[in-house]
Amino acid sequence: MSKRSILLFISIAVFSVAAFAQGGTENPFDLIPRIKAEAAAKRAAGEGAYIPANPFDIVRKTETLPTIEETAALNISEQEREYINVAAEKESFLRFFFIAFLSMLLLLTLTFIIFRTAFLKVWRAFLNDNILTQIHREQGAVAHLPYLLMNLLFCTNLALFILLSLRHSDIRLDFATNQGAFFAVLGGTLLVFCAKHLLLKVVAAVFPLRKELKLYAFTITVFCAILGLFLIPLNLFLAYAPDEVSRFAFWLTVAVFGLTYLFRSLRGFIIGGRYVGSHLFHFLLYICSVEIAPAILLVKYLSSI
């Protein structure tokens, strides 16, 4: 056997043994099956991310990156989160107040355009007792529409003032929305106002003071109409002014309420002054049951909130 035949035989034998050793397995230099196997193992173990079959493929990331707001929300403290919530709630209330105040101004403008003379009469009646008596005699027992609208404006401004005062005192009413709280306070204000006039009618039917009590009820209507006009700029300062100015506006509003109540009480005393000597017991009974008792109950209720 020649040397060339021997080399050929050895080569055939080596390739046969290599083929037998591979036993039908894949090419060891092929990277794709190995990458697939490693990716499958990682997926089974819950590690890593999906690796494509082709190692040179570019994988597009399907997950979106968090926004700046989301990243900031994850990194803020509880105190900062509470401050953000309070600021958002205040902004929501001021937006509602602006809409309610604008609606009230629209109603006031329409009322003033249609019943301008009624506003002039109310102002003159507020300053002069004789003019008040004359206007009451002219308009009779039936309340005219302009006086009803002016008292509705008063109740609306009073409801806004109560809401603003409660917010400045850090008192929150248990209502889901600002609209619910406003209409609840407005309903309570209208209920108290109507109950006051109804009580005066009952007292006028019981005691021999029908004429005087009707005049006093009209006096309340006039004073409430004027007070509702005074509340418009005070509510604006209380809502949008800085804390120092809004605090001053609050106490100024309380002072205006107190002075108006004293002035109205003085006018009421003038109306029923001639009955004080002859009906002192009835006068004191009226003062305690109609004027003092409701005020005490209201103060006690507000202090318990």
Q: What is the pLDDT of residue 269?
A: 80
Q: What is the pLDDT of residue 292?
A: 73
Q: What is the pLDDT of residue 10?
A: 52
Please, are residues 253 and 238 in contact by the beta-carbon 8 Å criterion? yes
Tokens 């404006």 belong to which residue?
153
Please choose, from the candidates 155, 134, 149, the residue with its C-alpha nearest in 3D space to the C-alpha of residue 228.
155
> Which of the pair, 174 or 232, is modelled with greater confidence?
232
Confidence of residue 19 (pLDDT cuts 50, 70, 90): very low
CA-CA-CA-CA dihedral for 169, 174, 178, 179, to nearest 10: -130
Give the phi and the psi of residue 59 in degrees, each rounded to 5: -90, 125
Confidence of residue 129 (pLDDT cuts 50, 70, 90): confident
What secondary structure letter does DSSP report for 147?
H
- How is residue 143 written in tokens? 């309340």
The tens digit of pLDDT for each residue in 55-99 reads: 555 555 555 555 655 555 555 556 566 656 667 777 888 888 899
- How is residue 82 written in tokens? 């509470």
Q: Where are the domains of the chain?
A: 97-293
Please, are residues 249 and 237 in contact by the beta-carbon 8 Å criterion? yes
Average pLDDT over residues 32-43: 51
Q: What is the pLDDT of residue 261?
A: 86
Please, are residues 163 and 185 in contact by the beta-carbon 8 Å criterion? yes
Please, are residues 215 and 133 in contact by the beta-carbon 8 Å criterion? yes
Q: State how far the Cα of 84 lies from the Cα of 77, in Å rounded to an integer.
A: 11
The tens digit of pLDDT for each residue in 145-170 reads: 888 899 999 999 999 998 888 888 77
Confidence of residue 227 (pLDDT cuts 50, 70, 90): very high
Please choose, from the candidates 115, 109, 134, the residue with its C-alpha nearest in 3D space to the C-alpha of residue 124.
134
Q: State how far the Cα of 271 lies from the Cα of 130, in Å rounded to an integer.
A: 11
Distance of CA 149 to the CA centre of its chain: 25
The tens digit of pLDDT for each residue in 168-221 reads: 877 777 776 888 888 888 988 898 888 888 888 887 787 777 888 888 888 999
Q: Is the pLDDT at 29 greater than 50, yes or no?
A: no
Confidence of residue 278 (pLDDT cuts 50, 70, 90): low
Q: 185: how many CB neighbours lie within 10 A of its CB?
A: 21
- pTM for this one? 0.67
CA-CA-CA-CA dihedral for 273, 282, 302, 226, to nearest 10: -30
Q: What is the pLDDT of residue 280?
A: 66
Q: What is the mean pLDDT of the chain?
A: 74
Burial of 13 (0-12, 13-18, 19+ CB in 10 A): exposed
**Dihedral over Cα of 164, 162, 143, 220: its sign:** negative
Q: State how far the Cα of 193 lies from the Cα of 151, in Å rounded to an integer.
A: 9
